[in-house]
Amino acid sequence: METRQLKIKAAQIRMDLLSIIHRAKTGHTGGSLSNTDILTALYYEIMNIDPARPKWEKRDRFIASKGHSVESLWCILADKGFFPKEELETYSQFGTRLIGHPNNKVPGIEMNTGALGHGLPISVGMALAAKRDALSYRVFCLMGDGEQAEGSNWEAAMAGAHYKLDNLIGIIDRNRLQISGSTEEVMGLEPLEDKWTSFGWNVVPVNGNNMEELVQVFRAAPEVAGKPTLVMANTTKGKGVSFAENVPAWHHHVPSDEQLATAHAELRSVIEELQQEGQVSQS
C-alpha cells in the first residue's frame, strides 16, 4: 500500500474499533486508538502473513503482549480475512471467540495474552526457534509502557540479547498513560531508551502515529546484525479522536451515541482529506 492508503486504512480501523466497543459497551479504547497505526503498518505493509494459511510455518509472528488493547487487532484480522467481518458484531458477547483479550482459538492469534509481561518471553522463544530451525520469519511483540514495570520483560530482554535474536522486534506503545494515571507517576520508567540499550538491544525511537516513520523503521529492522530491535513508538493515547486524546479516563471507556457520531465524523473527515490529496496527486 501507498502511505496515503495506509493512513486511510488506519482511520477506517479506528472507526470500526469504536463501533464494536460502543456496541459491546466495553473495551480499552485509548490504547487501541494509540496502537492502530503500528498494527496497520505491520499487517498491511510489513509482515509476511497469509490469512488463508494462518499456521503457515514461514509466517511472521505477532504477539500482542498488551492484550487488553485488542479491539484494533480484531478489526484488522477481520479486515484481512482471518475470520468473517460480521463476527465483529459478537465482540465481548456471551459465547463469542472475540473476547476482550487475544484468544488463540481465532485464526491469526499466536497466543492468549492479557497477563502483562508474558508476551516478550514467549516472543524470545519463538525467535530462538526460528534461528535453530533455520527459518527466516520475524517475531514482532507489542508491549505497553505501563507493562515495563513487569520484571519478566527484563529477563526476556536479557535472553533476547544473549541469544543475538536479530529476528526479534519489540515495540513499546509509549503513550505515557496507564489505567491509574501517567506512567511516570505510577512507576517511573525514564530513561527507558537507555535501559533497553543497556540490556543489549538496538533502540529506535519513532513517532508511533506517523505512518511513514513506522514503515521505514519496520522495513529496516534489524539495523544491527546480532541484536534484537526495540522500537520505542511514541504515541498519543486516544489518537484520532479529539476528545479522547491524552485523557487518562479513556483507558477503558465506552463512547456514548453522541461521542461515537462525533468521533466517526472526525475520522471520515481525515479519510476524505486523504482521498482528495490522492486525487490531486493523480491529476
Determine contact, residues 166/193, Cβ cutoff 8 Å: no
Does the model's pTM come out above 0.95? yes
Residue 34 sits in a domain whose CATH number is 3.40.50.970
User: Domain of 181?
Assistant: 3-282
> Region 69-83: what's the mean pLDDT?
98
- CA R_g for the chain: 18
Name the domain count of the chain: 1
SS3 category, 231: strand
Determine contact, residues 149/187, Cβ cutoff 8 Å: yes
pLDDT digits (tens, 9 = 90+) for 207-219: 999 999 999 999 9
Could you tell me which of 123, 144, 134 has the C-alpha nearest to residue 61?
Answer: 123
pLDDT digits (tens, 9 = 90+) for 164-178: 999 999 999 999 998
Distance, CA of 213 to chain centre: 15
For the ranges 130-144, 148-162, 176-190, 232-246, which has the lowest average pLDDT? 176-190
